[in-house]
Chains A and B, each alone.
Chain A
């Protein structure tokens, strides 16, 4: 079983991100479970969502305490919440930011992780460019696909098209593809370095 935890703020589509990821896995014939930490609707408050993917039916329902992968949609959370809680040494981390993790003060937290598995991607900028709105959730999934190979980019895009329509779908797909390319390239750099 592969467990993903997604951190963000209300209004950034964190819950949708987990759902899209689960749909992508479903489209590949796998079992997937997605759910948020639940609260009253409140824009701007920290939100966490989870996604589990497995080839067998998933029965457990507790929050993901030991994520195999972490997605951080909003870098301001790095100082506010311990997003890295429970990460094992082989975990993947994908942070939405234009800055360096060192600049964000997160270097120490990821020091024990495998460097090629810790990536950043400017998802919000990509979203603005292709969507016209700073909603990075689906974009990040493109980067996530590249980083982990857990789901294919095709499945991510198919999930996006299932959930959204028209220009919103097109924009998200385009941005997700860009994020995929970005993370692939920078990961390769990190490995080659």
Chain B
């Protein structure tokens, strides 16, 4: 059913359609509207049976989800930024135990300095936690990805993080098509856990594994993640067949066929990028966008295939590896590392553009400026988009003055 609604509300309703059995909630901007929406649905009886637990911290939220999932319940929680960091120990624990928990991360910058606005640094901090990571381009995809996430999680027995840009998507009102409960029930069967705490068949979960077996346990986890590269597109295809919509999957190319310049990006900035690309295409420029929807596991082969033929690749990053540069760039670089050069051409060169940190809007004007430089090969290897040089210079002057005293 078509609705004009807030992104958070759409996600809450999509999650509710998946019949979660235990929801843990702790507030943090900008995800709070999601758990508030779910609380209304549970309290009114619209979502039942469901235990809604108001926990005392994000660490408790993930812990409750772990206990619930280990006991066989479909478990869900949501967080952002500092909250995600606070639950990190439990996040890795869930990843290592292979519990099919689904969590929304409403992407928000990590402090210090404290900042409540959108960027990807929070989810990036957990990229090796053993969780799958999916990034939504718009609120329709955000809703759809949650439905797919429960399927993917339970099929693989791995936890899944659905990332949606905080405020930009969570607090945006737009049109979303939400499926019916019957449709979702047909797509998402009841959860049958691969391991479960049951007095009738007792097992010990969470043993201490020593040097003699730890590597093998981790290798098996690694294999499971590689298997996700097949499961994710399969689920996306089934979703398209069931709901008539393309969403999810590993990557999504946009006007890449003869693109000389490709911008790689994740999340909500893709919408703005597509408008910019359309404008430039209208002027004859051969430019395209590669959307990365699945960041973990990283779809190296799919990225390599998509970038074939491109001359230059600009990776737009909404995160900063301090002292290093981009994060996604290195993944793209690795994807291209084994690529054979095109006949008559070279492997594309990479440029990193750090944009939108801490919620700074990424504007069409700035993107045009960046692309003007990119297509004339005048982009530095690392650029901070819209950097305020006046603030930088002022700070440098202040530091110099302090030194002299």
Contact = CB atoms under 8 A, between A and B. Distances in A.
B173 A35 contact: yes
A38 B361 CA distance: 11
A65 B363 CA distance: 9
B359 interface: yes
Interface residues of A, number: 23
B307 interface: no
B172 A35 contact: yes
A63 B366 CA distance: 13
Interface string B337-370: 0000000000000000000000101111100000
A59 B361 contact: no
Interface string A61-100: 1110100000000000000000000000000000000000
B174 interface: yes
A31 B175 contact: yes
Contacts of B171: 35-36, 38
Name the residue among A23, A33, A36, A39 with the largest chain B CB count within 10 angstroms: A33
A6 interface: no
Contacts of B268: 61
A62 B4 contact: no
Contact of B361 (A19, A57, A58, A63): A63
B145 interface: no
B192 interface: no
Contacts of A23: 4, 173
B117 interface: yes
B109 interface: no
A35 B274 CA distance: 19
Contact of B173 (A18, A59, A60, A62): A18
Contact of A61 (B6, B168, B175, B365): B168
Contacts of A35: 167-168, 171-173
A174 interface: no
A58 to B, nearest CB: 7
A94 B2 CA distance: 31
B249 interface: no
B30 A61 contact: no
B359 A61 contact: no
Among A19, A61, A63, A65, max chain B CB count under 10 A is at: A61
Nearest to A31: B175
B272 A22 contact: no
Nearest to B363: A62
A118 interface: no
Contacts of B4: 22-23, 26-27, 32
Nearest to A40: B116
B174 A22 contact: yes
A151 interface: no
A56 to B, nearest CB: 11
A19 B2 CA distance: 16
B117 A34 contact: no
A19 B173 contact: yes
Nearest to B6: A19
Interface in B148-206: 167-168, 171-175
A33 B365 CA distance: 20
Contacts of A60: 271-272, 275, 364
Contacts of B136: none
B23 interface: no
Interface string A17-49: 011001100110001111110111000000000
B91 interface: no
Contacts of A59: 138, 270-272, 274-275
Interface in B267-285: 268-272, 274-275
6 contacts: A22-B173, A32-B173, A35-B172, A58-B271, A60-B272, A62-B364
Given A26-B175, A32-B175, A63-B361, 11 more contacts: A18-B173, A22-B174, A26-B2, A32-B4, A32-B174, A35-B171, A38-B116, A40-B116, A57-B175, A62-B362, A65-B365
